[in-house]
Amino acid sequence: MNQPYLHPAQQINQDSAPKETLYVTGLNDKVRLEDLKFVLYILFSQFGEVLQIVMKKTQKLRGQAFIVFQNITYATNAKSALSGMMVYEKPLIIEFAYKKSVIFDRMEGKFYYKQKQQKELQPNIPTDLIKERKQKKIEDKLNNNTVFNQGEVNNVLLIESLPSFVTENMLSELFRQYPGYSLIKLINARGLAFVEYQNDDQATVALKGLSNFKITPECQLKVKYAKK
């Protein structure tokens, strides 16, 4: 006899053993799926390599995501740190998934094709970014060989060389993780943004936490203090 279909929410057991895959619910389904997926990638990849983010537009799976980490430690740390965090005005509800991701079945069974996996597992990167990669690699090499001038300490941060697909909402969800966040202003035409915190110390914590943070596998945030 066939087993009845179980909605993903019904597959979650509060006492289930930790797994590499997290099940996230309560997401704001009014936000464009690709924007939401990108923000989740930014947030969760701080805790380790994210192999896959699965989100669907279907009615049964709206407002939900499966986040697949490389190992259980990364998943456990992310679950502990991010549970309850407000993302697009909704708190993250995070549990361990009921089943192991099919990705690990492929890897263990050696049905693993690198090029296909790279295409499937990473968030979609807009074509505009591809054109910028060569120049960014050159800039990164220069930055690694010079002393990075972060400017005079104050409560406003400057983010430079932002890819054209980054939105104000994306950056806001990233920087509001740090206490004292006040506001953000993105200037798309110049590829930069200003982020204000309530005081200098709070801005410094955010700067240290997000300098050179990878918003995609090949694009790092360039953060310094803004000139007053």
pLDDT in tens, 8-25: 444 444 446 888 999 999
Quickly state the pLDDT bin for 27 (edges 50, 70, 90): very high
d(CA 12, CA 23): 8
Please provide residue 190's backbone torsions phi and psi, each rounded to the nearest 5 degrees: -105, 0
Please state, in angstroms and as integers, the Cα–Cα distance from residue 43 to each residue in 22, 53, 146, following that order: 13, 12, 29
Tell me the pLDDT tens digit for each residue of 72-112: 999 999 999 999 988 888 999 999 988 766 555 554 444 44
- pLDDT band per the 50, 70, 90 thresholds, residue 137: low
3-state secondary structure of 13: coil
Average pLDDT, integer, range 159-187? 89
Residue (of 80, 90, 85) closest to 27 by Cα position: 90
For residues 38, 39, 40, 45, the Cα torsion angle rounded to the nearest 10 degrees is 90
- Confidence category of residue 124, pLDDT binned at 50, 70, 90: low
Q: Residue 173 has which token pair? A: 């969800």
The mean per-residue pLDDT over the stretch 163-178 comes to: 86
Q: What is the pLDDT of residue 112?
A: 42
Report pTM. Answer: 0.55
Distance from C-alpha of 178 to C-alpha of 153, rounded to nearest angstrom:
17
Please check the confidence at residue 202 and state whether its pLDDT lies above 50: yes
**Would you give the distance in Å from CA 2 to the centre of its chain?**
38
8-state DSSP, 146: S
